[in-house]
Amino acid sequence: MADPAPAPPWRTTDWLNTDAPLSLERLRGKVVMVHAFQMLCPGCVSRGLPQAARVAELFAGAPLVVVGLHTVFEHHDAMRLPSLRAFLHEYRVKFPIGVDAPGIDGDPIPQTMRAYAMQGTPTTVLIDAAGRRRRQVFGAHEDLVLGAELQTLLLEASLDAGVERAADDGARGCDDGGCAVEPRG
Amino acid sequence: MADPAPAPPWRTTDWLNTDAPLSLERLRGKVVMVHAFQMLCPGCVSRGLPQAARVAELFAGAPLVVVGLHTVFEHHDAMRLPSLRAFLHEYRVKFPIGVDAPGIDGDPIPQTMRAYAMQGTPTTVLIDAAGRRRRQVFGAHEDLVLGAELQTLLLEASLDAGVERAADDGARGCDDGGCAVEPRG
Amino acid sequence: MADPAPAPPWRTTDWLNTDAPLSLERLRGKVVMVHAFQMLCPGCVSRGLPQAARVAELFAGAPLVVVGLHTVFEHHDAMRLPSLRAFLHEYRVKFPIGVDAPGIDGDPIPQTMRAYAMQGTPTTVLIDAAGRRRRQVFGAHEDLVLGAELQTLLLEASLDAGVERAADDGARGCDDGGCAVEPRG
Amino acid sequence: MADPAPAPPWRTTDWLNTDAPLSLERLRGKVVMVHAFQMLCPGCVSRGLPQAARVAELFAGAPLVVVGLHTVFEHHDAMRLPSLRAFLHEYRVKFPIGVDAPGIDGDPIPQTMRAYAMQGTPTTVLIDAAGRRRRQVFGAHEDLVLGAELQTLLLEASLDAGVERAADDGARGCDDGGCAVEPRG
């Protein structure tokens, strides 16, 4: 198939839970999972954000970064920065969150959401270590499938790094002692 | 590391949900997930068996087989074949189930459970396409991690088959159109 | 309306979790909640029995008795006494359980289930302190509604006991300090 | 015991989901359940508000009113009226919501929350048909117990109305056909 296209750059106005703004360039070489959400989107709060937090925790040992993207496309006055800050505090969201830049010329859809042609929130985007968009899912996403998709990109990264064959990697990654992808605690 | 050891053969007295008894030899070339359970084990009923059923459904397109193993080590009179048959019917368990052979010389632990040194139920065992035991988990297992572990073994299998590089496999396996590992419906 | 009819007597072959067999006569003066179930009925295991256990715990201070009734109408060989005993042990069911007497003349429906004209399992039956059947629900039953129905029968019992007006009862039963119906711990 | 004290009046700045502001005087004669919450309180969103919505639906046939009270005592800038409006819209909250009046002299605790000496959110307050506070619970509250407490106050109301004995009421309220307190659909 044709090589997947590079993931569009992120256009953001603020970053929370991180010392410095993040960018795909800065994250090149790592697998990136983007969780696009709105703080007042019930499906994001009940399922999407908890899933993203579990990924961040369970894949902590892997070259993978979970990034939240606050893509507000409705009720803009209701989800300003102070509200988002309080939300992240109350819901104990610890991973980096970028605030998507407001739409241009009165477009209600923020710029990054528009560039990725997201259908709504929550949306999960998987970006490989080469910065290519490999998967985009609107709505709830199965943990089993997400885990498999993330591992595919992680093993590719190790292959492309040419360090070793994925089989060896896998062998060391998955024996009775545990897995490269290992739950913490 | 040392090559993982071959998975011990299964010693069973009956098979349900399958026309012919299964064996690791017959399944060579496929990744095998064994879910060892007891029909009266609450954790197996509430979490383990539903997880195994989701794996069987979500990985239906992959060279992976989910096998249940009824490893009764307590209340033997309570979980005879007629009870198991009714249980599988009422709980809509569709994947193949082997009945572990009774322990030898009055051992309450059935033979396969003993051979695998399982600590109890539920226990999940992952066996690679070469028939080697690669992972064994006692108790609840995280969907995200299980999905990653299964994908590791599936990608290894495709590598060892020498058909293609895992990267390409992954590339084709995970684009916007979907993934090799894809939820049905 | 016409007075509700007396609840049919229970016809049982065995009792578990109790020193002596129970009967509606022995329980006269108390509100009785009957939970009719089958040990291999998924809805009973996942919702009905846990609800019955919560009622037994939360209403422990009230003149109310929770009684389980094992009404097997299918897979009879799968749910004999040894299986039921193991099931109650593994699922930590502590309240008294009566085993409904087998149907007559080859009737697959056991005698008490037939006498109550139950449609299936789980079925919840509420019997007032005078031994009258006041409510029968097939399938899942809302906690909020069940709590209200039980309290109705409990307050009636205190009224009929002529001890005091329900209002006073309620007043003492429900103040800032707590309720006559009070969660333990 | 001493008669329970009258419930303190509500001091609010806005009302949503209602044509006219509500007050305890206006609701005299009905049982009132107050659910005090904050829109960014996880326990309120995941458990408290859904419980209040179930009560409003399941007791729709009874002389009972469910009232939400937005008692913001932290992150005030994050939960202004536009945010609350959007929250109620997205979470499909349909019952009347009063916005508690800001604390006096810089008190972070709003006036009604202070008057009721609430310990935090969520807090459930039950007020009888005579306007007396009968129950106040901080944190999650058991459906079974809440249902019983509400029914106690509803039966008292019918007694005080002198229309009929609670027993008859109960008899008509709870027969095989159903209950005065009946789930809709």
Model confidence at B3, pLDDT cuts 50, 70, 90, reads: confident
Closest CA to B150 of B120, B129, B175: B129
Note whether D126 contacts C176, CB cutoff 8 Å.
Answer: no
Q: A141 vs C178, which has greater pLDDT?
A: A141
CB contact under 8 A, B41 and C90: yes
Contact D83 A87 (CB under 8 A): no
Residues of D in contact with A16 (CB under 8 A): none
* DSSP structure class, residue A45: I
Cross-chain residue pair C148–D153, CB shorter than 8 Å: no
Q: How many angstroms away from the CA of D53 is the closest CA of chain A?
A: 15
Q: What is the pLDDT of residues C131-171, one digit of tens each?
A: 999 999 999 999 999 999 999 999 999 988 765 433 333 33
What pLDDT does residue C3 have?
76
Contact D133, D125 (CB under 8 A): yes
Task: Tell me: pLDDT of B58 over 80.
Answer: yes
Confidence of residue C2 (pLDDT cuts 50, 70, 90): low
Helices C166-173 & D143-160, crossing angle to 10 degrees?
Answer: 140
Evaluate if residue C30 carries a pLDDT over 80: yes
Contact C29, C130 (CB under 8 A): no
Contact between chains at B78 and C91 (C-beta distance less than 8 A): no
d(CA B30, CA B64): 5
B148:A143 CB<8 A: no
In chain C, residues with a C-beta closer than 8 Å to the C-beta of D179 are 135, 145, 148-149, 152
- Across the interface, whether the CB atoms of D148 and C179 are under 8 A apart is answered yes
Q: Which amino acid is at A97?
A: I
How do the pLDDT tens digits run along chain D, 185 residues long? 467 899 999 999 999 999 999 999 999 999 999 999 999 999 999 999 999 999 999 999 999 999 999 999 999 999 999 999 999 999 999 999 999 999 999 999 999 999 999 999 999 999 999 999 999 999 999 999 999 999 999 999 998 876 543 333 333 333 333 222 333 33
In chain C, residues with a C-beta closer than 8 Å to the C-beta of B50 are none
Chains A and B: how many Cβ contacts under 8 Å?
153
Interface test with C, best of D59, D132, D137, D151 (most C CBs within 10 A): D151
Chain A touching partners, 3 or more CB pairs below 8 A: B, D
Q: Do A78 and D87 touch (CB under 8 A)?
A: yes
Nearest CA in chain A to B54: A144
Residue B185 pLDDT greater than 60, yes or no: no
Question: Which residue of D lies nearest to C51 if distances are taken between CA atoms?
Answer: D144
| Helix, strand, or coil (residue A66) | strand
Q: Which residues of B touch C86 (CB under 8 A)?
A: 40, 74-75, 77-79
The whole-number average pLDDT for the span A47-66 is 97
Q: Do chains D and C touch (3 or more CB pairs under 8 A)?
A: yes
Closest CA of chain D from C151, distance in Å: 5
User: In chain B, what residues touch C77 (CB-CB under 8 Å)?
Assistant: 82-83, 86
In this model, does residue A176 exceed pLDDT 90?
no
**Confidence check: pLDDT of B177 > 70:** no
Q: How confident is the model at residue C17 (pLDDT cuts 50, 70, 90)?
A: very high
**Per-residue pLDDT at B134:** 98
The rounded distance, in Å, linking the Cα atoms of A69 and A99 is 6
For residues C13-24, average pLDDT = 98
Of chain A, the percentage scoring pLDDT greater than 70 comes to 86
- Cα–Cα nearest to C61, from C173, C176, C177: C173
Inspect the interface and report whether the beta carbons of C78 and B86 lie closer than 8 Å: yes
D interface toward A at CB cutoff 8 Å?
40-42, 45-46, 74-75, 77-79, 82-83, 85-87, 89-91
Write down the pLDDT at residue B160. 81
Regarding chains C and B, contact by 3 or more CB pairs under 8 A is answered as yes
Nearest to C49 by CA among C152, C115, C123, C146: C123
Question: Nearest CA of chain B to the CA of A81: how many Å?
Answer: 31
Tokens found for residue A85:
């800050």
Averaged pLDDT score across all residues of chain B? 88
* pLDDT-based confidence at residue B30 (cuts at 50, 70, 90): very high
**Residue A185 pLDDT greater than 80, yes or no:** no
What is the complex's ipTM, to 2 decimals? 0.85
Residue B165: predicted pLDDT: 39
List Cβ neighbours of C58 (8 Å cut-off, separation of 6 or more).
C181, C182, C183, C184, D142, D144, D145
**The predicted structure's pLDDT at residue B170:** 36
Per residue, the 3-state secondary structure of C15-75, as one string, reads EECCCCCCCHHHHCCCEEEEEEECCCCHHHHHHHHHHHHHHHHHCCCCCEEEEEEECCCCC
pLDDT tier at C129 (50, 70, 90 boundaries)?
Answer: very high
Q: Is the pLDDT of residue B33 over 80?
A: yes
Taking contacts as CB-CB distances below 8 angstroms, the residues of chain B near C88 are none
Question: What is the arithmetic mean of pLDDT over A7-28?
Answer: 98
C:D CB pairs within 8 Å: 151
Q: What is the pLDDT of residue B159?
A: 87
Of D149, D151, D165, the CB nearest to C152: D151
Structural domains of chain D ordered from first start? 12-181 (3.40.30.10)
Label residue A2 by pLDDT band (50, 70, 90): low
Q: What is the SS3 assignment for A67? A: strand
D79/A78 touch (CB, cutoff 8 Å), yes or no: no
How many CB atoms are closer than 10 A to CB A126?
24
Place A161 in a pLDDT band, splitting at 50, 70 and 90.
confident
**pLDDT at residue number A182:** 31
| Distance (Å, whole) CA D179 – CA A122 | 41
